[in-house]
Structure 1
Amino acid sequence: MNVSILVLVIVVIGLFGYTFGARRAFALANGKSSNLHSRPGYYGAHVAVWTILPALALIFVWVIAAPAYINSSVRASFPEDVKAQPQATQNLAYNMVGSIARGLVLLTPQELAEAESGSGDVRALLASRGVPLADQPQPYMIEAAKDLNAMSATSRIALTVAALLASALGAALAFRSIAPRFRARNGVERVILGALIAASSIAILTTVGIVASMLTEAIHFFTMVSPWEFFFGTVWDPRFAAAGAAGTSGQFGLIPLLLGTLYIGLVAMLFAVPIGLFAAIYMAEYASPKFRAAAKPLLEVLAGIPTIVYGFFALVSVGPFLRDISAQIAGIATGNFTSFIQAQSVLTAGFVMGIMLIPYVSSLSDDIITAVPRSLRDGSLGLGATRSETIKRVILPAALPGIVGAVLMTASRAIGETMIVVLAAGVAARMQLNPFDPMTTVTVKIVNQLTGDLEFTSPQTLVAFALGITLFVITLCLNIYALYIVRKYREQYE
């Protein structure tokens, strides 16, 4: 049985266990829930938990262990001359065995007999079934493929039987343990608590794993390139010397990329923060409930648009528009219709990225402003202040820590943007302050350095991990500072 279908069957059995468990508890209480320690639903949940969890745990372990065992068994059946070859060659042979095994399943009994006897062109036969092979398979590969299919089928049958037995045994034991004074609620809540802890641990361990993987490769990079050269270098030119030459001719200066990242992010924030903040103030304080109910979802739609779409918008519309309008302005001023704004520039990328960030600033600020107690508004208005004075002198100061935190979190989102910068600002690593010229960011160079068929042994590739860990530290510091601002200056209301 397929694993997905097996999991679905076990869940269905668990639902039946829930129903019968709740009914049994209700029956033991003579129809009075007050005679039970827990509500009937907890008894049903107790049976469902012990029906589903042991079986799922068994499936999880089996799915991990069985392929490894089958892999080692099939490799052990290879001839000695194959096992004496390098590991890469054995891997290629095993991959071909896997392809043959998938093809053998699609053959008719007569075709399978021909393939087993070696009397036909197995390669052409499998290709006709949509399983192309790089070369004619050797006889031992066909035998290994048959063994692989047989062991896989046996494993699926054994897994199905074992999982269903574990599910049935768990259901039976849980069903027998039901009694009026049985503390079903405590057990179910412990399971839920364990699930919550596991979910939190997965998130934490994932973050730790990402950081550890980047840090390991970054340390490898710094054994080849000086950290001083990387963090304080002003030239980004990761080229290498000719083959056979000693050393490298590349330069891995971070400063141009860091300046481009901060510059484009600053321009984006200059567009996003005022518009988003004013939109939040209007929707929270001035807009009617009907307008707010319609405008806020429409504004938040911008946050759901893929960034590649924003990049195309910048490349096709915004960049050419700014270039043409600058040419018109230059022509009116000097008579020379030469554009002083390039289609790919800091301004183009910052403007489009600012549009993308507006819903982040607006939505977060709106929630923060609406969280300010109504009593502060009423007190200010009762003392004779106008609505605008109340917003300026009461509401915004009370909401300021949260707004600052929202702005800093939005800034970390801007720093990590890639696709808009690639299409709207170019890939030139430059140090300049003219917003009308192209620049690039750290994220763009990470993509560039990891694009193509590269080995993870050269500084040209490993530098991407150094850039990644640097960007991670920057965004982490911004988020920590945002949380610090919110916690330090947050107003506490009764």
Structure 2
Amino acid sequence: MQPANLLLLTIVCVLVAYGVGYARSRSLAMPLGGIRHLKSLPFYYGARAALWCGLPALFVLGLWVAFQGKVIQTLVIGSLPQEMIPGNEGEASLLLSKISNVASGALPPSFVEAPIVDASERLQALREQSRFYMSALVVSVAVLAGFLGWVRIRPKVNARVQVESILKWVFFACAALAILTTLGIIFSVAFETVRFFDKIPITEFIFGSQWSPQTAMRADQVASQGAFGMIPLFTGTLLISAIAMFVAVPVGLLSAIYLSEYANKKVRGVVKPLLEMLAGIPTVVYGFFAALTVAPFISDLAASIGIEASSQSALAAGGVMGIMIIPFVSSLSDDVINAVPQTLRDGSLALGATQSETMKKVIFPAALPGIMGGILLAVSRAIGETMIVVMAAGLAANLTANPLETVTTVTVQIVTLLTGDQEFDSAKTLAAFALGAMLFLSTLLLNVVALKIVRKYREQYD
């Protein structure tokens, strides 16, 4: 049974355990004179039985799913002849990919060696056995633990305290998991970044003005071992992000002011949902729009006035990205403006100020810290965008400030470097982690600045 189906079956077992626990508590209460003689409400007895049933089963399922892949891969690699056993992680990854492709039917067995075919059959058999044993163990644990939870229901047991205590630890585990996941991401990226800097000097990466991660085939190319200067990538990222914010901030902020202060309820009820629909459009659709409509329009317009413009430009990518971010800026600004107390508006109007003067001199200054924080968060969103840049701005790492030329961004290069089967011992592949680390630090700095601005200038109102 697949893990997703097994998860659904576990949820069904949890619901059944809740029902029988609830029913047992009520049946035990009837001879005593009703549920008022129970230490807790029947709901808590049912929830206690459900937790007994679900938590151990989900724990076993999570552990099995987390480790089964590594165990199966180790067994498959160990079954190969001694001369075919890979010597490093990169070779092991490529070999396992080949074995998996044969097992899935994507690669015909006649194209590979006989030991690879045998290993693919063993891989398939081990996966089937793993699914069978996993299903049997998880269901057994769920049924046994649920039965124990059902048997231990007693009228004198304070089920509410036990349920709340278990939930407290569950919430703590979820919070700890989120923190540990963040730490795991940081350490994994940092470890690979250190490996990259062992191959490429950090000064070349930070201060280099040329980006060409492909190993050169001729001595007269950019560099005999590739060029890994990040300045062109971050320049392109900042250029496209600046264009996007030049579009998104005025339109989003002015639309938020109109909807919160000037539009009536009927207009707001129609315009606001239509504006927020932009946030639900997939980024690949924006990419198509930028590549097929906006970029050719900009190129033709520039040619008509005698200006040379590339068919893929930073202006096209940044402009469409700005349209995508408009709902983000508008929604945050609208919430901040609406959070300003109505008493400030009434006091300003009572003193003779017009609605426009009230907006400019009272409401906007009061909401400015929150608006600035929202704008900085929108900048982080723009920096992390990939698909629109790939389709509308190209892949060329040009060091330029001209918005009509082709540029690329950090995220696009990360995707390019990690596409396909890559060997994780080469500087080309490890460069993606170094770029990711720098991008992580940049967005983290923006978020910290946004929080500092909000906390420093935030006004407290009664």
For normalisation by structure 1, the TM-score amounts to 0.80
| Structure 1 residue 459, shift from structure 2 partner | 2.5
Tell me the secondary structure at the aligned position of residue 110 of structure 2: coil
Preserved CA contact (<8 Å) 2:290 2:320: yes
Higher RCO (C-alpha 8 Å, min separation 6) = 2
1:63-462, aligned counterparts within 5 Å?
63=65, 83-88=81-86, 132-134=108-110, 149=125, 159-242=134-217, 248-328=224-304, 330=305, 338-462=306-430
Q: For residue 39 of structure 2, what is the aligned residue in structure 1?
A: 37
Q: Please report how far the alpha carbon of residue 64 of structure 1 lies from its aligned counterpart in structure 2 after TM superposition.
A: 5.3
Contact 1:52–1:167 at 8 Å: present in 2 too?
A: yes
Q: How many pairs does the alignment contain?
A: 454
Q: Which amino acid aligns with 1:13?
A: C
Maintained 8 Å contact 2:72/2:123: no
Cα gap change, 1:226 to 1:134, in 2 (>3 Å): same
Check conservation: 1:33, 1:40, Cα contact below 8 A.
yes
Match of 2:49 in 1: 47
Q: 1:309 offset after TM fit, Å?
A: 1.8
**1:74–1:148: 8 Å Cα contact kept in structure 2?**
no
Deviations 1:409-448 (A, max 9, x none): 0001111122222332233333333333333222222233
Flag the 1:65–1:290 CA change in 2: closer, same or farther, 3 A.
same
Other-structure match for 2:12? 12
Higher-Rg structure is: 1
Q: Distance in 1 between matches of 2:96 and 2:340?
A: 65
Gapped regions of structure 1 (runs ≥ 5): 104-126, 331-337
The residue identity in structure 2 corresponding to 1:19 is: G
Distance 1:352 1:416 in 2: 14
- Provide the alpha-carbon RMSD of the alignment: 3.6
Matched residues in 1 for 2:319 and 2:119: separation? 63
Deviation digits for residues 383-408 of structure 1 (CA, Å, limit 9, x no counterpart): 22222222112211121111000000
Question: Is contact 2:291–2:391 with CA below 8 Å preserved after alignment?
Answer: yes
Go from structure 1 to structure 2 and tell me whether the alpha carbon gap of 1:194 and 1:248 turns closer, same or farther (over 3 Å shift). farther
Mapped partners of 1:451, 1:160: distance in 2: 34
Partner AA of 2:175 in structure 1? S
The letter for the 1-side match of 2:171 is: L
Any unmatched runs of 5+ in structure 2?
A: none
Specify whether residues 3 and 229 from structure 1 end up closer, same or farther in structure 2 by C-alpha distance, changes over 3 A only: closer
1:434–1:59: structure 2 CA closer, same or farther, 3 Å change rule? closer
Instruction: Supply the distance in 2 between the matched residues of 1:410 and 1:147 (Cα, whole angstroms).
Output: 46
| Identical columns (%) | 46
Cα separation, 2, equivalents of 1:158 and 1:239: 46
Q: Aligned partners of 1:67 and 1:460: how far apart in 2?
A: 27
Match of 1:114 in 2: none
Cα deviation, residue 244, structure 1: 11
- Which residue is 1:124 aligned to? none
Give CA-to-partner distance per residue, 1:318-355, whole Å, 9 cap, x none. 12222223333x2xxxxxxx344443223222211111
SS at match of 1:85: helix
TM-score normalised per structure 2: 0.85
